[in-house]
Chains A and B, each alone.
Chain A
Amino acid sequence: APYTAAGMDVKKIAHKWCTDYYQQHQTNRQVLKQVYKPDSKLTVTNDDFVGPDAIVEKFEQWPKDSVFQVVSFDAHQNMPNGILAFVMGKLVFDNGANEQRFAHVFQFIAESEAAFYIQNEIFQFINFG
């Protein structure tokens, strides 16, 4: 049966997965390869990266000391076994001297409470207003 049953606290689960994801981004991006499958796609401002190697290679181009701060968080269940997470946040780098606002959307596919992978991911830097 699909994992994401009705009544589950979707927002709490998604928030935990996102928190773990950002934590991993900050400590060892190579480990993030485990949350992507060959069909997973990351779009960063109209550029697409498909599969764990291409996706993590893109992330490795970002500043090494980046810290992700979540400003707003929404999550919706996407039947049968997807969870959509919508994050607005700030990337803080250069020891806090610089920050960059971003928008980040995930579709997690749940295989069990502990096992998920990211099937869709869109990341945009916010450079206006």
Chain B
Amino acid sequence: MALNPNYDEIGKAFTQQYYALFDNPATRGQLQGLYNAEQSLMSFEGQQMQGAEKIMGKIASLTFQKIQHLITAVDCQPMFDGGILINVLGQLKTDDDPPQSFMQNFVLRPGGDSFYIQHDVFRLVLHNVAA
């Protein structure tokens, strides 16, 4: 068992950093450094892609000029392999559209002297049930 005792601090700081990089078009490309070339797995609104290049390709394909993520809540848990499980709830605003609620989950895995995103799952919170 190798729980990281600083999981909450690391998880919350990572979350802030991620959205700060994402929301600034000048720094969005730096997100690539947070994903692993082969191991990272993303589900974006149910669509799965693997590896940093494909993930960045998905992010680059999103059609907005401006985006802002506002974080409402972040919960973190340590995982027994040293990873960190993060659940984020928030609102995002793109261009002049009304704000939308979203849920995003990250699993961070230790790599080198840092962490990389091993799992990334994004869903918009919809108002109407489509079971």
The chain A residues found within 8 Å of chain B, CB to CB, are: 39, 41, 43, 45-46, 69-72, 74, 76, 78, 84, 86, 88, 90, 101, 103, 105, 107, 119-120, 122, 124, 126, 128-129
Contacts and interface: CB of A to CB of B under 8 A. Distances in A.
Contacts of A72: 46, 123, 126
Contacts of B75: 43, 45-46, 122, 124
A112 to B, nearest CB: 19
Interface stretch (B20-28, B30-38, B56-64, B85-93): B85-93
B77 A70 contact: no
21 contacts: A41-B77, A43-B76, A43-B77, A72-B126, A74-B43, A74-B46, A74-B123, A78-B107, A78-B118, A84-B85, A84-B105, A84-B107, A86-B43, A88-B125, A105-B87, A105-B105, A122-B75, A124-B89, A126-B103, A128-B101, A129-B91
Contacts of B89: 103, 124, 126, 128
> Which of the listed residues B43, B75, B76 has the most CB atoms from chain A within 10 Å of its own CB?
B75
B43 A101 contact: no
Contacts of A70: 131
B67 interface: no
Interface in B70-112: 72-73, 75-77, 79-80, 85, 87, 89, 91, 99-101, 103, 105, 107
Interface of B: 1, 41, 43, 46, 72-73, 75-77, 79-80, 85, 87, 89, 91, 99-101, 103, 105, 107, 118-119, 121, 123, 125-126, 129-131
Nearest to B98: A129
Contact of A126 (B105, B125, B131): B125
A103 to B, nearest CB: 5
